Structure 1
Amino acid sequence: MNKEIRKFLIDQCVLGQPVYYEDVAKIIDLDLSLLSDRELLSKTLGEISAYEYENGRPLISSVAIYKTANDHGNGFYKLCEELGIGSSSALRKEYYGFSELEKSKIFWKDEFNYEQFYSLAVPLYNDSDNPFFNIDEIAFFRKWIYKVYDKNNRDHYSAKEYLLDTVWAKTRFLSNEIVNRLDNYETSNKRMWSKRDWQEGKRVSTFKPYTWARIYKNGNKSKEIFFTVGIDPENNSFLYKLDYYHENDSNLSTLQKELCRKHIPDSLRWNEIHENDLINWNWESLIKKMVDFIAENSHHYDQLVELVWGDTKSEEVFTNNLTLRQLPEGGLVDLPKLNPKFEGVDTDFIKKSANDKELGDFGEELVLDYEKKKLSEKGLYNFVDKVKIVKDGNGYDIKSFDENGNDIFIEVKTTQGNSKTPFYLSLNEKLFFEKERDKYFIYRLYNFDSERNYADFFIIVDINKRLLFQPTEYRVYLKKN
């Protein structure tokens, strides 16, 4: 994507003035009398608008129009069709390009939006310049793990050089890009391709069975607790996790290692992407996944460091926080049958309502704090104070933001029960999520511990696909005779 043209278009939006295709062409030295150059201009503008669209912002190429026709070109409407916005002919009749132009002007004149998104914090990668992991090099890696290295063997030397230039270089590139997108983190990613070992009483070097890079909070390297990312050919996977240094020469004592082993949550201990599935990933998606993983679990990292190296006890450290878990497996195929018993039960409805309200409030406060920390870890400080709990009746509980500054709406459901405890959704909440389904998330908190103010939770995204809805009460009206 041409970043220079992107900034030029944004500046035109701020000025509130359309720009002609000819003006854009001059900047990148194109001759619009040539078909090839016209196609290149269309591609350049299309890439920019596609990127903006994918990040929830208006199509800024709409600011560019024909000088004589005072209209948008076929390339603009073809792009809209490719993005699934609608048919090009229908959109042209609706003057969609000009409505997007107005949206672009409004969006970029907002000082907050301009400050946050004018410069791209996340560079875009061309796969030909930065080739992604591939299954062939992982298979090659697998053939060499644990082999004793012979520096005089040409095949051994060639294998070492190949691995350094592929899986090791790519792991290093990945970890550098991850810490560039996080605040207050550093990485240790030296291409230490070999490990010391013993063979027949002699010291030897063997090919390592992994390419893991470590990611720490700044200044915490010596504490040897870290996030890990890298290739694990023995398990046919790309691996990411929260970990600690296990070896005998670790700075961690036996007791400290045991604390790490005991208190790293299972959901962070081992996560992998199978090598066959890497074809569905690229640098952008993998970097985003890793940044999210670290940002969403940074509080666990902080707690573990505090527990292992501080003076506090575990019951004091592991309080007032959430642990993100995977969506539970299993569930129901069909709704359960209702079997009312028609037996009287004494219920203190006032007390029950108060308890439910208190439980819900605790859950919302935990999620509010979690979202603010997550945005802070990504360096999105301008958004932190904008995260808020909204008033009842809005159809959701918390307004927050994604990494691109787009609104997200969070409904919090809290229980002291297990992960599969059913919960209630009001009609208002259901109607709101149907209206904002791309921005609506349910944070399901479970195993809530009121003494520690702690809960596990998972996030429900595809609500209609993941949930079954069962009506449990009716609104009743008088019927006309």
Structure 2
Amino acid sequence: MAGGGHPDWTDQELDRIVADYFSMLGEEISGTTYNKAAHNRALRDDLDRSKSSVEFKHRNISAVLVKLGLPSIRGYFPAENYQATIVAAIDRYLSQNPTALHPEKVVDGWAERQGLFVGAPPPRLPVSPHNANIERLIRKFNPVERDFRNRKLGRDGEELVFHHERQRLTQLERPDLAKKIRWISEELGDGAGYDILSFDAQGRERLLEVKTTVGADVTPFYITRNELSLASERPEAFRLCRVFDFSAHPRMFELTPPLENLVHLSPLNYEASFS
């Protein structure tokens, strides 16, 4: 029995509410109007659960999706104290519906879009306590690897920042500098340690490395040795632009070197050689 004498959620009930959550999430990402209250009522009728119980379970799902680097429904703020059973239900859903791991929508016309909200980065918090169930799920549906391998997502994020920089300099009455911005990774490929060459209002270089995710602002990301070296060599110019919530409401923050003061850096790869 769950707290308060209410029966624990069964696997069937959890599968039902997880599927309903992803249905609403898909509608939100596509821009389709939907009614959360109507979904809540339908679940209450089907499952004989209270309004608050259904809503809290939706918030549990949001918390797990944040860990997986996936978008979550606005208004269902993550509730961290979820049980292993909801983690298992989300595992079942994603295993049966792998397209849910790639909720990117086709977006064109970045040049015509006005404004990209640029806010403060999330705080660097202590490393989270060990949770075997969620860590197992993260390894299975690795959000860092998924974003890293999604070249279209990465390119779209770079394009968004490229046009944002042009708009920013134009608004600062520096159209001359806006015309000089270069999309380095598009022109020359990866390897420079940054993606976009931009400028500040005084004409000083801004070397922008763009990292994009469909997940929340706290979603981890890969950073290469080359990028870290450039951040160390050119701290006055290097900026890491983190674009997040890309599918639904793209926003961005910038990280300024030294990066190790702002994020936890964990070595993940080893080079194997014979000499």
After TM superposition, the score normalised by the length of structure 2 is 0.49
Larger Rg: 1
1 or 2 for the larger relative contact order (CA 8 Å, sep ≥6)?
A: 2
More strand by share: 1
